[in-house]
A and B are shown apart, each in its own frame.
Chain A
Amino acid sequence: MTFELSERVQTVPPSGIRRFFEIAEERDDVISLGVGEPDFSTPWAARDAAITSLEQGKTSYTANRGMRELRESIADYVADRFELGYDPDEEIIVTAGASEAVDLAFRAFVDPGDTVAIAQPAYISYEPGVIFAGGEVLSVPTTEEDDFRLTVEGLEQAGADEADMLVLCYPNNPTGAIMTEADLEPIAEFAREHDLLVLSDEIYAELTYDGNEHVSIATLEGMRERTIVFNGFSKAHAMTGLRLGYALGPAEAINAMNKIHQYTMLSAPTTAQHAALEALDSCENDVEAMVNEYDRRRQFVLSRFREIGMDVFEAKGAFYCFPEVPEGFTAEEFAEGILREQGVAVVPGDVFGEGGSGHLRVSYATGLDDLREALARIEAFVEDHT
């Protein structure tokens, strides 16, 4: 038989990173700075809690919204770290990764023909998520001149006043940009004025450097009732493979998302929930140690790019930096060139949407010895071709 794909599936092109992945797979000497996941192992206490839960036979479904104990722990954590107040019974849902939570939100709140404004460059799954839900994407590009922060001017120029929803991700994948409270205030005002639902992906919230504290847009006046916050354990707690995230929002919104979740995922993986509970309970020091190490690598990488003579944005969050490719190259040409000639994998900024062209996403979630060698190879490539 032939599979007649739905229009929605046909509309979405294959991921732009797929091709680079395939080229990288052809060689065995690649140093990868193209990965969006920590190189650290999950803190041992969390892994041990997962093992113990298995030994005790805790392998059944949990409550659809996640174990109550975990939801309580999440509520305490977000209150303590980010001044976010949510009721564990009604306003928190635990999901299989923050990605599932984002997908639930698109499916719960996007109707065919609805417009979702996305601040770009952005994590590559938002756009397909909107399309799979039947919505239309409105790209709101950010620029290096504005430190890749979203501005009201940018929203107005893109026509976001007509949109139904706005997607933010700060600290940002791929740029490493952050938004301060002062940066977020006018965005919040715009959202209130134009009645936008805001989806705020804060998965990198713990990874904020240079003395900056992460601020959630949901903490600003009049925003709690129109914002859904996403977070999870993949990045700061190095638990990517355990697939555990969560969403915070008003009861009405979380109930709607739970309706889809209970018919599809039923509940997030139980073993991962036990690991997450322990991660929140006792792994604060592990997180701090990883954040300190990322910060050192960030400074190293920024400094080396400047030395090489490549302009690089002063990233203050996540574990990416976003250098500009030298004149005469597109980002794709440069990324393919250093992969084929020098065996260094990075991701061209274009794949993350408007505003990303001419840049590379370079992940420093890799040990310093590899970073040093990779930067030396990039330097050699630049010297050979400029």
Chain B
Amino acid sequence: MSEREVLELLRENARYSTADIARMTGLDESEVETTIEELEAAGVVRGYQAVVDWDKLEDERVRAEVELNVTLDRETGYADIAERLARFPQVKALRLVSGDYDFDMEVEGDSIREVSQFISEKVAPVPEITQTVTHYVMTSYKENGIELGDGDDDERLSVSP
């Protein structure tokens, strides 16, 4: 149960210190450290990343959601195609999904030109890929469970009964 609690807190904010997590869970700091080490070693925790609101930066950052359809043969399965695509650093997320298409791929680049080139020159030519549909992200309102934008003003009274 403590593993789950620690995981929930890390997902909420990976920058909580082990001391903070210890205080919130009632565990010893050393227990928290051990739990996190174990979760990392077991591959449950795969990494820590910041949730970024790119719209707040001057620099352009282009992201696209790409739908991929594939055709399989006896020698090639979904995992083989996924392995090939996931190696590209431009691919930030790749999921096999149910529905009208097979893979859902998130791609990032510095410009629309760069992302387009990547899809047309690296992804589309993969022999098993039969179709790509690219959706450029125009505005992001929520990422990883965190709402983006300026909606966090606390309008409550400073002191109340």
Interchain residue pairs with CB less than 8 A apart (12): A15-B161, A20-B158, A21-B158, A32-B159, A34-B159, A123-B161, A125-B161, A296-B24, A296-B25, A300-B20, A300-B24, A366-B154
Q: Mark A15-28, 1 if CB is under 8 A from B, else 0.
A: 10100110011000
A32 touches B161 (CB 8 A): no
From B9, B13, B23, B154, contact of A304 by CB (8 A): B23
Task: Output the least CB separation between A1 and chain B (Å).
Answer: 32
B160 at the interface (CB under 8 A from A): yes
Across-interface contacts of A21 in B (CB, < 8 A): 157-160
Least CB separation from A366: chain B residue: B154
Give complex CA distance A238, B34 in Å: 36
A347 touches B159 (CB 8 A): yes
Query: In A319-361, which residues have CB < 8 Å from any B CB?
Result: 345, 347
Least CB separation from B155: chain A residue: A241
Least CB separation from A174: chain B residue: B161
The 10 A-B pairs at the shortest CB distance, nearest first, are namely A24-B158, A34-B159, A296-B24, A303-B23, A300-B23, A21-B159, A32-B158, A20-B159, A300-B24, A36-B160
A36 touches B161 (CB 8 A): yes
Across-interface contacts of B160 in A (CB, < 8 A): 17, 21, 34-37
From B20, B22, B154, B159, contact of A368 by CB (8 A): B20
Interface residue tally of chain B, by bracket? Answer: 10 to 19
Q: Mark B141-160, 1 if CB is under 8 A from A, else 0.
A: 00000000000001011111
Among A24, A297, A303: residue with most chain B CB under 10 A? A303
A39 touches B23 (CB 8 A): no
Across-interface contacts of B161 in A (CB, < 8 A): 15, 17, 36, 123-125, 173
Across-interface contacts of A35 in B (CB, < 8 A): 156-160
B47 at the interface (CB under 8 A from A): no
Name 14 extra pairs, CB < 8 A, besides A125-B161, A303-B22, A368-B13.
A21-B157, A24-B158, A24-B159, A32-B154, A34-B158, A34-B160, A35-B157, A35-B158, A123-B161, A299-B23, A300-B24, A304-B23, A347-B159, A368-B16
A280 at the interface (CB under 8 A from B): no
Among B9, B16, B25, B156: residue with most chain A CB under 10 A? B156
Give complex CA distance A30, B104 in Å: 45
Residues of A in contact, count (CB < 8 Å) = 28
Query: In B1-60, which residues have CB < 8 Å from any A CB?
Result: 9, 13, 16, 20, 22-26
A372 at the interface (CB under 8 A from B): yes
A299 touches B24 (CB 8 A): yes
Give complex CA distance A294, B72 in Å: 50
Across-interface contacts of B156 in A (CB, < 8 A): 32, 35, 37, 39
Query: In B87-142, which residues have CB < 8 Å from any A CB?
Result: none
Task: Output the least CB separation between A216 and chain B (Å).
Answer: 23
Across-interface contacts of A299 in B (CB, < 8 A): 23-26
Across-interface contacts of B25 in A (CB, < 8 A): 296, 299
Q: Mark A24-60, 1 if CB is under 8 A from B, else 0.
A: 1100001010111101000000000000000000000
Task: Output the least CB separation between B26 and chain A (Å).
Answer: 5
Give complex CA distance A313, B81 in Å: 60
Give complex CA distance A368, B156 in Å: 17
Across-interface contacts of A34 in B (CB, < 8 A): 158-160
Give complex CA distance A347, B4 in Å: 35
From B22, B26, B154, contact of A39 by CB (8 A): B154
Across-interface contacts of A347 in B (CB, < 8 A): 159
Task: Output the least CB separation between B113 and chain A (Å).
Answer: 39
Query: In A155-192, which residues have CB < 8 Å from any B CB?
Result: 173
Task: Output the least CB separation between B14 and chain A (Å).
Answer: 13
Give complex CA distance A297, B16 in Å: 13
Across-interface contacts of B20 in A (CB, < 8 A): 300, 368, 372
Task: Output the least CB separation between A304 and chain B (Å).
Answer: 7
Task: Output the least CB separation between B124 and chain A (Å).
Answer: 40
Across-interface contacts of B16 in A (CB, < 8 A): 368
B23 touches A30 (CB 8 A): no
Give complex CA distance A347, B9 in Å: 29
Across-interface contacts of A125 in B (CB, < 8 A): 161
Give complex CA distance A21, B161 in Å: 11
Give complex CA distance A35, B160 in Å: 5
Give complex CA distance A276, B161 in Å: 22
A30 touches B158 (CB 8 A): yes
Across-interface contacts of A297 in B (CB, < 8 A): 24
A345 touches B23 (CB 8 A): no
Give complex CA distance A303, B28 in Å: 12
Across-interface contacts of A123 in B (CB, < 8 A): 161
Give complex CA distance A21, B159 in Å: 5
Least CB separation from B13: chain A residue: A368
Give complex CA distance A37, B161 in Å: 9
B158 touches A345 (CB 8 A): yes
Known: A296-B24, A303-B23, A368-B20. A345 touches B154 (CB 8 A): no
Least CB separation from A20: chain B residue: B159
